[in-house]
Amino acid sequence: MSSTNTEISNRASADANRLNVWVVEDNDLLRATLEDLLTNQDSVASVTLFNAGEPAIKSLEDGELPDVVLMDIGLPGMSGIETVTELRSRAPALPVVMLTVYRDNDRIFKAICAGASGYLLKTSPPERIVEALGVAVSGGSPIDEYIARRILDIFARMNPPTVDYNLTERESQILQHLVDGSTQKQIAEKLHVSAHTIDGHVRHIYAKLEVHTRSGAVAKALREGLV
């Protein structure tokens, strides 16, 4: 192979490894800033800009497919989170990194559920934004450290640790029967004890769970995984 052909082949190989990036951002100044930042990166082949989610979806439907998308949340019309949902429904493997000012739990959770691959704040250093694109394309999940902590808090609240109510083995057994719908008389017959004995156990269960009714005990048992 001639040196010219080798040079062309090497250049084509290098271009194949560079990223085609879409930026969806409605702030004109920030959009231009991101364009300048990304077009000056050796790892980026092209940058396509959108000021709303709808034209990005239209481009995807027209056959365009980027390597990665940098997405704002507060967009005019369709929100960035809604746009992620639409993009991922059409291109499930497309990595989308949120770049936003929002740091509240609700938007973080919704963005992740929509399929966002990463979540960065707009205060992130430029080099962090560039690095995040490569990480997302490689299958990683670039997340701002502050946001990572919020995500851990979200899931901790979703799965609260089980409280030890100090139920005895017999009380846990009776609670299971209550959850299964058995009456106290039926429980007494199954356990071969008197109804009076079961009534005493049930009262102890209510006191330990801090409830006053059978439905309250059953609801708490199911909600906290006690049975």
What pTM did the predictor assign?
0.65
Predicted confidence at residue 5, as pLDDT, reads 46
38 or 225, higher pLDDT: 38
Considering the domain architecture, whether residues 134 and 28 belong to the same structural domain is answered as yes
Considering the domain architecture, whether residues 125 and 216 belong to the same structural domain is answered as no
Predicted confidence at residue 177, as pLDDT, reads 94
Region 133-158: mean pLDDT is 87
Which of 158, 182, 200 is the endpoint of a domain? 158
**CATH number of the domain within which 196 lies:** 1.10.10.10
Region 11-31: mean pLDDT is 83
Q: Above 60 in pLDDT, residue 81?
A: yes
Q: Is 71 helix (H, G, I), strand (E, B) or coil?
A: strand
What are the backbone dihedrals phi and psi of residue 72, each rounded to the nearest 5 degrees, phi first?
A: -80, 160
Least confident span in 66-70, 151-155, 167-171, 173-177: 151-155
Listed in sequence order, the DSSP H helices in the chain are 3-16, 28-39, 53-61, 80-90, 105-114, 126-137, 145-158, 169-180, 184-191, 195-209, 214-223
Region 31-55: mean pLDDT is 97
Considering the domain architecture, whether residues 85 and 194 belong to the same structural domain is answered as no
For 130, other C-beta atoms within 10 Å of its C-beta total: 18
Predicted confidence at residue 222, as pLDDT, reads 86
Predicted confidence at residue 14, as pLDDT, reads 46
What are the backbone dihedrals phi and psi of residue 138, each rounded to the nearest 5 degrees, phi first?
A: -80, 0
Region 5-34: mean pLDDT is 76
Strand partners, 121: 100
Q: Above 70 in pLDDT, residue 214?
A: yes
What are the backbone dihedrals phi and psi of residue 183, each rounded to the nearest 5 degrees, phi first?
A: -80, 165
pLDDT digits (tens, 9 = 90+) for 85-132: 999 999 999 999 999 999 998 899 899 999 999 999 999 999 999 999
Q: Above 60 in pLDDT, residue 175?
A: yes
Q: Above 80 in pLDDT, residue 159?
A: no
Considering the domain architecture, whether residues 130 and 209 belong to the same structural domain is answered as no
In the sheet with 118-121, reading across from the earlier edge strand, the strands are 44-50, 19-24, 68-71, 96-100, 118-121
Considering the domain architecture, whether residues 80 and 177 belong to the same structural domain is answered as no
Q: Above 80 in pLDDT, residue 41?
A: yes
Which of 158, 177, 204 is the endpoint of a domain? 158
Average pLDDT of the chain, as a whole number = 90
Range of the domain at 190: 169-223
- Measure the CA dihedral 60/92/46/119, to 10°: 120
Asked if the structure places residue 27 within a domain, the reply is yes
Asked if the structure places residue 164 within a domain, the reply is no
